[in-house]
Amino acid sequence: MTPLPALSPRRRRTDLLARAVLATFTAVALIPLVLIVYYLLHKGLPAISGHFFSSDPTGNFLGDAGGIKSAILGTLELVALATAMAVPIGIGVALYLVEYGRDNLFGNAVRYFVDVLTGVPSIVFGLFIYVTLVVSGALGSSFAGWKGSAALALLMLPVVTRSAEVVLLLVPDSLREAALALGSPRWRVVFRIVLPTALPGLVTGALLAVARAAGETAPLLFTATLVNGTTFNPGDKMNSLPAQIFSDVGQAQNRLVTRAWGAALTLVLMILILTLIARTLARRSRIT
Amino acid sequence: MSSDAPVPSAHDSPVTVDPPDMTPRPGPAPPRVAHRAPRARAVDPSAAERGRQVRLSGLSAYYGAKAAVKNLHLDFAANQVTAIIGPSGCGKSTMVRCINRMHEEIPSARVEGSVSLDEFDLYAPGVDVVAVRRAIGMVFQRPNPFPTMSIYDNVAAGPRLSGGARDQMGERVELALRDAGLWEEVKDRLAEPGIGLSGGQQQRLCIARALAVDPEVILMDEPCSALDPVATLKVEELLDELKRRVTIVLVTHNMQQAARVADTTAFLLAGELVEVGPTERMFTTPGDSRTEDYVTGKFG
Amino acid sequence: MEAGALATRDVPPSIGGASRARHGDQALRVILMGLAGLILALIVFFLIFLVLKAHPAFARFGVFGFTFDNNWDVAHAIYGALPLLVGTLITSAIALIIGVPVAVATALYLTELCPRRARGPLTVLVELLAAVPSVVYGLWGVFVLIPNLKPAEQWFADTFSFIPFIGGGKVAGPNYFIAGLILAIMILPIVSAISREVTATVPSEDKEAALALGATRWEMIRMAVLPYARPGIVGGAMLGLGRAIGETIAVTLVIGNQPQIGKHLFDQGYTLAAVIANEFGEAANDKLHTGALIAAGLVLFVLTLVVNAIARAIVRRGQHGRRPVPAQATAVAVQ
């Protein structure tokens, strides 16, 4: 029996070592996730109670610190308003890029700038709104919920546009052509064929953008700022979960810190649920 | 994954170089085996005649539950060219990939039976797959030189893995390129990227790359199906000399090619071996009626 | 889709019907173009205002002076942003050094080595890191990382005190290292996702060529996968860098917010983004201070612009001669 050329032990060792290193690094990458989940639950659950969700932060130094009602409601309002601003515009821009702007100068310029926008830090969006809307005291008071929403909308816009463009491009051109060949005007093709076909993907993209916006603090710091009471008037300053957490972390009091953990847990759960819905929706309907 | 291309139609006629007394025959009539005059080439006279026999015993290969190759018993004689022919999907590529244990790289793949190299069972427990592939080289259907490497680095890639001596690397590369018939064309541009060559040259580069590690067997999975006729010719010319050093297994959908270059031909159908024998006999007086139907172009 | 669905209520092509359709098309086109143009206009608009509001600071210190003077002294109304700039660079560098190797290793493991069944769930887990908002990272950093890592950090500083910057000094609670570490965790999902997409597009024939030559798995990765994927990975790393540079809330909670250039890895520091978040409240009525913060924001903006432009250029140049990476990948990853 004539043996095969032997594999040098050094190569075998290198191979095993490299594989072990790669696997270890992957495990290391997951450690923060595990730790964060653990501490969120460990420190956040004790804060959860009916009172926690039903009362506003009191801002008192002593006594009852209050819950996070205004923060939750504020986040819901701010993000809802931001979504209403960003999603139609974002999808509109994406529609332009796909239907009319695939290969001309204007379309390419817009595409480039949307790309640029994806890389802008979120605090700069807050600054954008601050220097234009807040400082000038547009429409009444300087700080207002809707201005915070505007900052969030700026943040969401490139995300929505980018993902919408990808999804719209996936709608086969043959569908468009078939409809046009039947004598349908372009706008009908867009609204009756293209958008409905792309709808699940568009919703997914929007949901992911919403999840991202819900967690943002920086854009709100000097637009909607922080306030204790619940308000439904977008013209007022408005509280939000991220801003509330940020504020509580800075204080050196245990019960505030506990509240911060509870609020963090709530926020992360909200984002997780949104992300999960988005992902399930994406998986359920693939445009082939 | 390579797929079997359809058998060529009647317009394909056997191309010969010399001796000039061979006349091209038209159509599906069984072509005569062509003989080639040996080319002048730099042979390293001290290279041992190193080809070995490959034996398949009861080889079955599965993708999941589906058997692509069923209970094959087949010998590949040492230092000979054995051609595997058969229609698309008959399992030729799968069988060949079992020989150098590439089949098991596919997630749902499974192999039963054994493949032996001169009595040495390649599937025995404890056998190192990497060593198997060092001894059994492979040339693929589409030329695949490493895109980020130069011509020199492509050929040197194999020997570098096993820690070949640095100072001898230049000679090894030159020898491999000469054996692949590529040296004269690239000797002045060894540092250029491998993918800058023409298709035919790239394939010969891949052959050189496979030769550089001194294998004992070379598997060729339809190596010429992506090449033009001139490039095909050049590759076929190599096989006659190469077989002195290695055993060659040539999967081909081109029967005329098998007739030109192979000593032995095996015919596979639906994963089973139908018939095997000397090429001339396979094409002129096949024993099995299915073989006859295939080589005369009745199906495929 | 029935022809009838489209054609209902449509007058068969005649002059009248055709012009009504054309109006609709015209309207749509104009509206959509307007929206697209809105984006361009908005960006220009905001930039102009940003520069205007930053003007007080630039007027007082000069653009160059503001950006590169090493003195951020709020009490005395002197604003030189060098400590912020350096702090931004230091924390981002730490983030890259720690984060990119781990991200690439994760990508390689998941694409090449991971057992099939585990691939999906593990990928989801890695991407979940992106779902955690910045403020929660900050919260976790302050109350979990800082206290628990302090002993180890001190040991490290003492053991390696002979190396400048990396060793030595007394470990402050919040410091450059913690900020860099958290940034590394935050950019992990992006860099990993892009690296994963790029390594997945490595043609299998290259990998097979390496394996058939008798390469071990790791040698195959080194020969066929990494060289091919390198431009994409570098581009992904630069995108991660851009993200790290702009990250605000998590950093400001764990870096100590000291406007000086720390001499040690474990000193407190400041970044461009952190200063804005931290000082905006108190700067409310001070035009110079506000102007300085906005100027810092402008510097930050330009920095991220440059980094992202380089990242895009690298990725685009690296695509030459390679298979295109599916657009969904980068679109979803950059969130």
- Nearest to B122, CA basis, from B100, B107, B95, B106: B100
Instruction: Check residue B60 and give its pLDDT.
Output: 93
Lowest-pLDDT range of A6-10, B129-133, C144-148: A6-10
Check whether B5 has a pLDDT greater than 60: no
Q: Which residue has the higher pLDDT, A230 or A196?
A: A196
- Nearest to C260, CA basis, from C135, C98, C95, C78: C78
- Nearest to B84, CA basis, from B225, B289, B248, B246: B248
Give C204's contacts (C-beta < 8 A, 6+ positions apart).
Answer: none
CA C152 distance to own-chain centroid: 28
Q: Per the domain annotation, does A82 fall within a domain?
A: yes
3-class SS of residue B146: coil
Average of per-residue pLDDT values in chain B: 83
CB contact under 8 A, C7 and A183: yes
Q: Residue A198 is part of which domain span?
A: 73-238
Q: Which residue has the higher pLDDT, C29 or C104?
A: C104
Q: Which residue has the higher pLDDT, B40 or B113?
A: B113
Mean pLDDT confidence for B9-15: 43
Which residues of A sit within 8 Å Cβ distance of B? Answer: 1-8, 10-12
Check whether C22 has a pLDDT greater than 80: no
Check whether B13 has a pLDDT greater than 50: no
Q: How far is A79 from chain C (nearest CA, A)?
A: 14
Mean pLDDT confidence for C275-302: 88
**Candidate from C205, C210, C214 with C-beta closest to B134:** C214
Tell me the per-residue pLDDT of B200-249, one tens digit each, with 9 for 90 and over. 999 999 999 999 998 999 999 999 999 999 999 999 999 988 988 899 99
Q: Per the domain annotation, does A270 fall within a domain?
A: no
The span from the CA of B94 to the CA of B70, in Å, is 11
Check whether C108 has a pLDDT greater than 50: yes
**Candidate from C116, C209, C212 with C-beta closest to B146:** C209
Maximum Cα–Cα distance across chain C: 87
The residue of chain A with its CA nearest to that of B164 is A8
Q: Give the long-range contacts of residues B151-155, CB within 8 A, separation 24 or more.
A: B151/B186, B151/B189, B151/B190, B151/B191, B151/B192, B151/B193, B151/B194, B151/B197, B151/B205, B152/B190, B152/B191, B153/B194, B154/B194, B154/B205, B154/B208, B154/B209, B155/B205, B155/B208, B155/B209, B155/B212
Question: Residue C322 carries which side chain, given as an amino acid letter?
Answer: R
- Nearest to B71, CA basis, from B51, B83, B84, B57: B57
Check whether B3 has a pLDDT greater than 50: no
What is the reported pTM?
A: 0.84
Q: Per the domain annotation, does A94 fall within a domain?
A: yes
Alpha helices by DSSP H, A186-233: 186-188, 195-214, 218-221
Q: Which residue has the higher pLDDT, A65 or B192?
A: B192
Query: CA-based Rg of chain B, rounded to a whole angstrom?
Result: 19
Mean pLDDT confidence for B142-166: 88
> Tokens in use for B161?
């893995």
Q: Chain B within 8 Å of C208 (Cβ-Cβ)?
A: yes
The residue of chain C with its CA nearest to that of B100 is C212
Q: Which of the four pLDDT bands, split at 50, 70 and 90, describes residue C188?
A: very high
CB pairs under 8 A between A and B: 36
What CATH number is associated with residue A100?
Answer: 1.10.3720.10
Residues of A whose CB is below 8 A from C239: 119
Q: How far is A284 from chain B (nearest CA, A)?
A: 25
Instruction: Check residue B300 and give its pLDDT.
Output: 62
Angle between helices B199-211 and B151-161 (to 10 degrees): 20
The span from the CA of C318 to the CA of C232, in Å, is 6
The residue of chain A with its CA nearest to that of B127 is A4
- Nearest to B60, CA basis, from B124, B115, B122: B115
User: In this structure, are residues C199 and C112 in contact, taking their beta carbons and an 8 Å threshold?
Assistant: yes
Q: Which of the four pLDDT bands, split at 50, 70 and 90, describes residue C327?
A: low
Q: Which of the four pLDDT bands, split at 50, 70 and 90, describes residue C24?
A: confident
Residue B278, beta-bridge partner list: B264
Instruction: Check residue C160 and give its pLDDT.
Output: 87
Q: What are phi and psi of B176, to 5 degrees?
A: -60, -40
Annotated domain spans of chain C: 10-47, 63-333
Mean pLDDT confidence for A158-169: 93
Check whether C104 has a pLDDT greater than 90: yes
CB contact under 8 A, A123 and C6: no
What residue ranges define each of the domains in chain B, with the CATH number in brackets? 54-143+217-295 (3.40.50.300)
CB contact under 8 A, C133 and A190: no
Instruction: Check residue B113 and give its pLDDT.
Output: 92
Q: Per the domain annotation, does A268 fall within a domain?
A: no
The residue of chain C with its CA nearest to that of B108 is C116
Instruction: Check residue B49 and give its pLDDT.
Output: 56
Question: Residue A275 carries which side chain, given as an amino acid letter?
Answer: T
Q: Which residue has the higher pLDDT, C173 or C192?
A: C192
Question: Residue C68 carries which side chain, given as an amino acid letter?
Answer: F
CA distances from B79 to A3, A182, A200, B56, C4 (A): 18, 66, 61, 17, 71
Tell me the per-residue pLDDT of C76-98, one tens digit each, with 9 for 90 and over. 888 889 999 999 999 999 999 99
End-to-end CA distance of chain B: 20
Mean pLDDT confidence for C300-328: 80
User: In this structure, are residues C91 and C100 in contact, taking their beta carbons and an 8 Å threshold?
Assistant: no
> Tokens in use for C81?
């942003």
The span from the CA of B73 to the CA of B84, in Å, is 13
Instruction: Check residue B38 and give its pLDDT.
Output: 42
Q: How far is A4 from chain B (nearest CA, A)?
A: 6
Overall fold of domain C63-333: MetI-like fold (1.10.3720)
Lowest-pLDDT range of A75-84, C4-13, C98-107, C171-180: C4-13
Three state DSSP letters for A138-160: CCCCCCCHHHHHHHHHHHHHHHH
Q: Which of the four pLDDT bands, split at 50, 70 and 90, describes residue B11?
A: very low
Q: Which residue has the higher pLDDT, C315 or B140?
A: B140
Tell me the per-residue pLDDT of B79-95, one tens digit each, with 9 for 90 and over. 999 999 999 888 899 99
Instruction: Check residue A286 and give its pLDDT.
Output: 58
**Candidate from A1, A6, A12 with C-beta closest to B120:** A1
Q: Chain A within 8 Å of C297 (Cβ-Cβ)?
A: yes
The span from the CA of A95 to the CA of B198, in Å, is 43
Q: Chain A within 8 Å of C30 (Cβ-Cβ)?
A: no
The residue of chain C with its CA nearest to that of A168 is C328
Q: How far is A251 from chain C (nearest CA, A)?
A: 12
Bond before C231 cis per omega within 30 degrees: no
Note the residue count of chain C. 335
Q: Name residues 128-157 of chain C within 8 A of A (Cβ).
A: 128-129, 131-140, 142-144
Average of per-residue pLDDT values in chain A: 88
**Candidate from C208, C216, C321 with C-beta closest to B130:** C216
Q: How many domains does chain A have?
A: 1
Mean pLDDT confidence for A67-87: 92
Average of per-residue pLDDT values in chain C: 86
The span from the CA of C265 to the CA of C94, in Å, is 9
The span from the CA of B239 to the CA of B39, in Å, is 11
CB contact under 8 A, C304 and A121: yes
Instruction: Check residue C325 and give its pLDDT.
Output: 63
- Nearest to A229, CA basis, from A61, A60, A55: A55
User: In this structure, are residues C192 and C106 in contact, taking their beta carbons and an 8 Å threshold?
Assistant: yes
Check whether B122 has a pLDDT greater than 80: yes
Lowest-pLDDT range of A191-200, A230-239, B185-194, B254-263: A230-239
> Tokens in use for A280?
């399930």
Percent of chain C with pLDDT over 70: 89
Q: Which of the four pLDDT bands, split at 50, 70 and 90, describes residue A2?
A: low
Mean pLDDT confidence for A274-288: 76
Report ipTM for this prediction: 0.90
The span from the CA of C275 to the CA of C249, in Å, is 10
Q: Which of the four pLDDT bands, split at 50, 70 and 90, describes residue B97?
A: very high
Q: Which of the four pLDDT bands, split at 50, 70 and 90, describes residue A208?
A: very high
Tell me the per-residue pLDDT of A18-55, one tens digit each, with 9 for 90 and over. 999 999 999 999 999 999 999 999 999 998 888 888 88
Instruction: Check residue C321 and give its pLDDT.
Output: 65
Instruction: Check residue C17 and give its pLDDT.
Output: 54
- Nearest to A285, CA basis, from A193, A187, A198, A173: A198
